[in-house]
Chains A and B, each alone.
Chain A
Amino acid sequence: MAFLFARNKQRSAQELVKSTKELLQRLIRGDGPPQKVEEDLARNISQMKITLQGTPDIEASPQAVFDLVSHAVSESLLPLLVENIHRLPFEARKDIQAVVSTVFRFRNQGSVSNEPDALNHVLHKQPEIIISLCNGYEKKESASSCGGILKEILRYDAVAAVILYDEPSSDGRTVDIFNDVDVTRRSSGNGVFWKFFTWIDKSSFEVSADAFDCFRLILTKHKALVSQYITTNFDMFFTKYNDILIKSDSYVTKRQSLKLLGEILLDRQFYEVMTRYVDSGENLKLIMWQLKDDRRMVQYEGFHVFKIFAANPNKSYEVSKFLVMNKQRLLRFLPRFLEERTDDDQFNDEKAWLVKAIGNLPDSTSALKPPNGSVSGSADAIQQQQHQTAQARS
């Protein structure tokens, strides 16, 4: 283990990276006995992991870490590793996750950039690695490792931005989020972000759940960025969200996406998104059907979205109409809705409040003003309302 000795470090780190790269390329080309190549690769990668992290008994040396990180970055080893992760055996995949994650975490002393230095460099020079990580959800072999790396770096806005503003380009280059992003331009819907809907919908339970977790992180950890993005791409986003996630046949996807929807809409940062969402009668219909789902937790999560429609003091004509048309039904339905939640005071208070609020609606749709032009009202009132509900829920 020559690389552990200070004198050889420089050369060893460089050699390690170089030989790993070569081996990867041989693996891709199918050059040489695959088993042997895989084994050698696995050994190299495991060695990198030990260099970067140490072992339970041996501390990693900062100098060795620095050397390896700088070589891995300058030789563009990481994209290659990530793209081929599915070709490698089980333990090597986990080691790649450890290596890439550790490199992304690397920070020079005194560094003050938003992101750790290595990640920062990658975001500027090799943003395609973020896209490759997302594409890891395509295969069940790579999903867990790529997802693990992604979820860790998703705490940085720039990573979310790369995912959101990715667009397929003719030259295969990934969008440079630091220079050429126009946040007011609508997405084509072909970027990597939109693939998450498919991954969540079509994958096996493990992959789907992992992809959803990632999707949730993208939406909830970068509120300013995401609310701008959703506002720009409102129709496409919610069409997909409603049709693919909320209407999903998978219990887990349905339940989780309803919950996430409730969380997003009740967040002050998503105020504009919320008002647009609860203006739509179609959305209300969809949510009201969820109240009638035959699974309690779906009903429950649906309730937390439904209450926002009902609590909105400036309901659109369409929404008011649907509520009024169903007033008696709701008044019969709600008191018996999820009655077994006797211990959930919060829920019962909200339910009682809803019953009252719906009771106060006019009896007939003729009392409603048909839509003509300005719906603008006291936006503050909604916000207050929403805020109260949010507080109530938290």
Chain B
Amino acid sequence: MATADDYQVLEELGSGSFGIVYKAIEKATGDLVAIKHIDLEGSDDDIREIQQEISLLATCSSDYVTRYKASFVRNTKLWIVMEFLGGGSCLDLLRPGPMEEMYIAIILRELLMALSYLHETGKIHRDIKAANVLLSDNGRVKIADFGVAAQLTNIKSQRLTFVGTPFWMAPEVIQEHGYDYKADIWSLGITAMEMALGEPPRSDIHPMKVLFLIPKEKPPRLEGNKWSKELKDFVARCLNKEAEQRPSAKALLKHPFIRKAGPTDRLRELISKVRHFESRGHESDRDLRYYEETLRPMNGVHMDDEDEDEWVFDTIRPHATMKKHTIKRRRLERIPSGDAANGELDDATLALREMSLENAPLGGISNSPGLQTPSRMPSTIRTPKTRQSSGQRKISAQMARKISGHVVGSPSPVTRKMSRQISGQTPTAVRRASRQMSGATPTARRISSQQPQPKQPLGVDMSFGNGTSTVRQFKRVSSGQPAKKLLAAGDDSIDENPHDSDAENHPPPTRDQPPAQPAVAATKEAILGRRSYAKCVDPAFQEVSTNTADSKKQAAISKVAEAWSELDQIDPEGELLLLKAILDRIQADPKLTGALLPQRAASTQLQSLRTASPTKKGSIRVATAEIAGSSPQPLTPSKNRRGSELPLAGSPSPTKSPTKLVLNPQNPHLKMMRSSQALQEAQVQQKAVAQKPTKEKDLLDEKMPGKQPEPGMEHVSLLADVLYGRWTEGLKARWPMS
């Protein structure tokens, strides 16, 4: 059985929606391999789908198909080991421009060999295109990416599932009348055109529209004197709308254009040309990122202080529990502290992080809803406490995805996620899905919520720690109704939950226990409210209180704390509203932001740290400029996808690939661009706000700690500093390099 110990993992080769691909050495043989890591925790989907892809790959044994070596699970990650191909993809070879016919013929011949192998063994690839054709260093051509491939039980059986990449899809696949292996021949014809033209036909048209055109219009042709008669004829034979009349792969191997093709060695010239082309500065700078073992299981955490209570099954342990509760109660008398007795540091860190949500490089919520930067998946964050904020982050990520769906047009139909999604469904369902995709209707959300959580593609990690989320997680607290609704909720809960089943473990209630019954936190807002209290407010009060020497001052703080705790008990939703209001106002005021949320600066630093490349080090602006300057690396979805499969160290390229129309919403550069736009906007906005300070803000200025400590409140200014200090310490611990 293969295990992770059999491989020495080297640098990252690329990443896509389905995982990260690393280069590695197989220790036993010294061979280079490409290993795809798929985090199984990242998706609700059945593991079966991934399994199917593996089993399909595992039943291929051909020199024309990327060779599968092994797969195994380590922790929650699935490792898929494949042969390493160093020559890049066929799409990479198109980077300097269209290909000469001599090369096209060789590649097509090899592809036909691959297809004839696949078809004879009852497989349909269903996604033939330049991006899915890989080359080895010495020019061997292999088909890769079996993400949507099908195994037919009978060579004559047909398929209905709507999958593939629009520009390359055969009419019968789009029409869902049933199709067979001949669909691959059509895609091969389009790929031939792609190589001759540098991009597939109709690449200037939106992929959704292309789906209508392909069955309706005449099949595309290569026209003009630029190309030989043989190539034009080859293309015409492949692109026959009648699937039955398309020749099989085997028959096409006898086509004159193919017969005159030279040996594969000649492709080496092409590969080295492209390398040369890249080395002349066309290479987009790319961060070399090394594999890093996840040090701790990521979500091992979930539990903090009180959660560490294990379930009790045997006996009630009066002593232990009693003691704990007593301690809590006693604390309660001083300051209502909930259960933050332990783990203050973590709580503090968290509190900070929550605060820092405000601090995202994008400004106010209302102004830049579409420009949110989805933050990185919790799975990649190596801190045990991420869950605290990950929920909120994810909302924004999801929202961003939704929104970018609106902005960009539609979630790219090319991404693997989507095609997988589609492949799993019945034709009708697929129709629905695609309509949703294109319409970006509210229902599109359904889709996105079902999708496997995408991994962050290649690029700058902007998300560590305080990342990029904003307050928008408080999305649904409407202004008018909540009071009524909350009251109602409160009432209900009094009726329904008058008891305390741990009563037997409690000491008799203390006299000054708040009279209110705790409301059951049933809504999302209420849960968030509760959390904000447990994680931020309460520990903050405690902290301040312990730092206060003067007993009068302390008493004053305790009163506020008590009042807040009561609020938390009765109306967690209101609590959340209050917090949000406060935070909004803090953020609106640049001075306060500077004083209270000093991590903004730090967060910018962080980003540049993650960006190993020196060119990007200064600021995000640089990167933005690159994007704006149109694309040293507009990772198109297809590129991403290829990246996920692709065992080569090639860098993302300025493709002319038509898929550039549909930038993957997850595209880091898109995100980066959005976020820096948002940042700029936010800055502008802040300036504007700063120029006309309102009375309210003056009031706030006075009240808020940090800036002008008024008598008796000096300690509060320490709070931010202390918290910030801890936060950076935590950072250092996790990230020795920084």
Binding site for B on A (CB under 8 A): 53-57, 59-60, 90-91, 94, 98, 101-102, 105, 144, 152, 204-206, 209-210, 213, 250-252, 255-256, 259, 281, 285, 288-289, 292, 294-297, 299-300, 322, 324-329, 331-333, 335-336, 339-344, 348, 352, 355-356, 359-364
Cα(A329)–Cα(B303), bound, Å: 12
Report yes or no: A144 in contact with B59, Cβ–Cβ below 8 A: yes
CB distance from A219 to the nearest CB of B (A): 15
Query: What 5 A-B pairs come out closest when comparing CB atoms?
Result: A327-B501, A340-B391, A328-B502, A294-B300, A363-B501
Q: Which of A90, A343, A348, A361 contacts B61 (CB 8 A)?
A: A90
Is the C-beta of B155 less than 8 angstroms from some C-beta in chain A? Answer: yes
Interface locus among B116-124, B255-263, B457-465, B621-629: B116-124
Please name 18 further chain A to chain B contacts, defined as beta carbons within 8 Å, in addition to the given A251-B75, A344-B449, A363-B504, sorted by A numbering: A56-B249, A205-B71, A205-B78, A206-B55, A209-B51, A210-B51, A213-B48, A213-B51, A250-B73, A294-B302, A295-B41, A297-B76, A328-B501, A328-B502, A329-B312, A343-B394, A352-B522, A363-B500
Cα(A356)–Cα(B522), bound, Å: 8
Q: Which of B122, B156, B527 contacts A339 (CB 8 A)?
A: B527
Report yes or no: B155 in contact with A340, Cβ–Cβ below 8 A: no
A residues near B527, Cβ cutoff 8 Å? 335-336, 339
Cα(A361)–Cα(B307), bound, Å: 20
Is the C-beta of B28 less than 8 angstroms from some C-beta in chain A? Answer: no
Report yes or no: A56 in contact with B72, Cβ–Cβ below 8 A: no
- Given A326-B312, A355-B520, A363-B501: A53 and B155 interface contact (C-beta under 8 Å): yes
Report yes or no: B153 in contact with A152, Cβ–Cβ below 8 A: yes
CB distance from A175 to the nearest CB of B (A): 28
A residues near B310, Cβ cutoff 8 Å? 292
Report yes or no: A364 in contact with B503, Cβ–Cβ below 8 A: yes
CB distance from B247 to the nearest CB of A (A): 9
- Given A55-B120, A292-B311, A340-B394: A206 and B71 interface contact (C-beta under 8 Å): yes
Cα(A296)–Cα(B155), bound, Å: 41
A residues near B300, Cβ cutoff 8 Å? 294
The closest CB in chain A to the CB of B505 belongs to A328
- Given A205-B71, A209-B51, A363-B503: A343 and B449 interface contact (C-beta under 8 Å): yes
21 A-B residue pairs with Cβ-Cβ distance under 8 Å, sorted by A, are: A56-B120, A144-B58, A205-B72, A206-B54, A213-B51, A252-B73, A259-B46, A295-B299, A297-B40, A327-B501, A328-B501, A329-B502, A339-B531, A340-B387, A352-B523, A356-B496, A356-B520, A359-B499, A360-B497, A361-B501, A364-B503
Cα(A346)–Cα(B250), bound, Å: 51
CB distance from B283 to the nearest CB of A (A): 37
Q: Which of A57, A251, A344, A362 contacts B248 (CB 8 A)?
A: A57
Most chain B CB atoms below 10 A, which of A91, A250, A255, A294: A294
Cα(A333)–Cα(B120), bound, Å: 56
Report yes or no: A363 in contact with B499, Cβ–Cβ below 8 A: yes
Is the C-beta of B549 less than 8 angstroms from some C-beta in chain A? Answer: no
Binding site for A on B (CB under 8 A): 1-2, 40-41, 44, 46-48, 51, 54-55, 58-59, 61, 71-73, 75-76, 78, 116, 119-122, 153-156, 181, 248-251, 297, 299-303, 306-307, 309-313, 316, 378, 387, 390-391, 394-395, 398, 445, 449, 473, 496-497, 499-504, 520-524, 527, 530-531
Report yes or no: A288 in contact with B299, Cβ–Cβ below 8 A: no
Report yes or no: A340 in contact with B51, Cβ–Cβ below 8 A: no
A residues near B72, Cβ cutoff 8 Å? 204-205
- Given A296-B41, A297-B40, A344-B449: A56 and B496 interface contact (C-beta under 8 Å): no
CB distance from A282 to the nearest CB of B (A): 9
A residues near B496, Cβ cutoff 8 Å? 356, 359-360
Cα(A251)–Cα(B249), bound, Å: 42
Report yes or no: B61 in contact with A57, Cβ–Cβ below 8 A: no
Report yes or no: B76 in contact with A251, Cβ–Cβ below 8 A: yes
Q: Which of B44, B155, B530 contacts A54 (CB 8 A)?
A: B155
Report yes or no: B504 in contact with A364, Cβ–Cβ below 8 A: yes
The closest CB in chain A to the CB of B504 belongs to A364
The closest CB in chain A to the CB of B325 belongs to A328
Cα(A252)–Cα(B378), bound, Å: 20
Cα(A250)–Cα(B300), bound, Å: 16
Report yes or no: B299 in contact with A252, Cβ–Cβ below 8 A: no
A residues near B522, Cβ cutoff 8 Å? 352, 355-356
The closest CB in chain A to the CB of B248 belongs to A56
Report yes or no: B44 in contact with A297, Cβ–Cβ below 8 A: yes
Cα(A360)–Cα(B520), bound, Å: 12
The closest CB in chain B to the CB of A213 belongs to B48
Report yes or no: A325 in contact with B390, Cβ–Cβ below 8 A: no
Cα(A98)–Cα(B496), bound, Å: 62
A residues near B181, Cβ cutoff 8 Å? 56
Report yes or no: A56 in contact with B521, Cβ–Cβ below 8 A: no
Report yes or no: B391 in contact with A252, Cβ–Cβ below 8 A: no
Cα(A327)–Cα(B378), bound, Å: 30
B residues near A144, Cβ cutoff 8 Å? 55, 58-59
- Given A295-B76, A296-B41, A363-B504: A326 and B55 interface contact (C-beta under 8 Å): no
Report yes or no: A206 in contact with B58, Cβ–Cβ below 8 A: yes
Report yes or no: B312 in contact with A325, Cβ–Cβ below 8 A: yes
CB distance from A367 to the nearest CB of B (A): 9
- Given A329-B309, A344-B449, A359-B496: A251 and B503 interface contact (C-beta under 8 Å): no
A residues near B302, Cβ cutoff 8 Å? 292, 294, 296, 299
The closest CB in chain A to the CB of B79 belongs to A205
Report yes or no: A285 in contact with B311, Cβ–Cβ below 8 A: yes
Report yes or no: B41 in contact with A335, Cβ–Cβ below 8 A: no
Report yes or no: B2 in contact with A204, Cβ–Cβ below 8 A: yes
Cα(A332)–Cα(B390), bound, Å: 19
Cα(A252)–Cα(B394), bound, Å: 24
Q: Which of A53, A250, A324, A342 contacts B154 (CB 8 A)?
A: A53
The closest CB in chain B to the CB of A318 belongs to B313
The closest CB in chain B to the CB of A297 belongs to B41
The closest CB in chain B to the CB of A329 belongs to B309
A residues near B303, Cβ cutoff 8 Å? 292
B residues near A289, Cβ cutoff 8 Å? 311
Report yes or no: B250 in contact with A342, Cβ–Cβ below 8 A: no
Most chain A CB atoms below 10 A, which of B47, B61, B449, B531: B47
Q: Which of B76, B299, B313 contacts A325 (CB 8 A)?
A: B313
Cα(A285)–Cα(B314), bound, Å: 10
The closest CB in chain B to the CB of A352 belongs to B522
Report yes or no: B520 in contact with A359, Cβ–Cβ below 8 A: yes
Cα(A90)–Cα(B65), bound, Å: 15
The closest CB in chain A to the CB of B296 belongs to A294
CB distance from A377 to the nearest CB of B (A): 22
Cα(A311)–Cα(B540), bound, Å: 38
Report yes or no: A359 in contact with B120, Cβ–Cβ below 8 A: no
CB distance from A199 to the nearest CB of B (A): 14
The closest CB in chain B to the CB of A288 belongs to B311
B residues near A296, Cβ cutoff 8 Å? 41, 299, 302
Most chain B CB atoms below 10 A, which of A213, A296, A297, A324: A296
Q: Which of A204, A205, A335, A356 contacts B530 (CB 8 A)?
A: A335
Cα(A333)–Cα(B312), bound, Å: 13
Q: Which of B153, B311, B530 contacts A101 (CB 8 A)?
A: B153
Report yes or no: A364 in contact with B501, Cβ–Cβ below 8 A: yes
Cα(A285)–Cα(B58), bound, Å: 40
Cα(A299)–Cα(B302), bound, Å: 10
- Given A54-B156, A209-B51, A255-B47: A336 and B531 interface contact (C-beta under 8 Å): yes
Cα(A214)–Cα(B499), bound, Å: 48
Report yes or no: B309 in contact with A251, Cβ–Cβ below 8 A: no
Report yes or no: A205 in contact with B311, Cβ–Cβ below 8 A: no
Cα(A77)–Cα(B306), bound, Å: 65
B residues near A331, Cβ cutoff 8 Å? 501, 520
Report yes or no: A55 in contact with B155, Cβ–Cβ below 8 A: yes
B residues near A364, Cβ cutoff 8 Å? 501, 503-504
CB distance from B424 to the nearest CB of A (A): 15
- Given A91-B61, A322-B313, A342-B524: A362 and B501 interface contact (C-beta under 8 Å): yes
CB distance from B519 to the nearest CB of A (A): 11
Report yes or no: A327 in contact with B73, Cβ–Cβ below 8 A: no
The closest CB in chain A to the CB of B394 belongs to A340
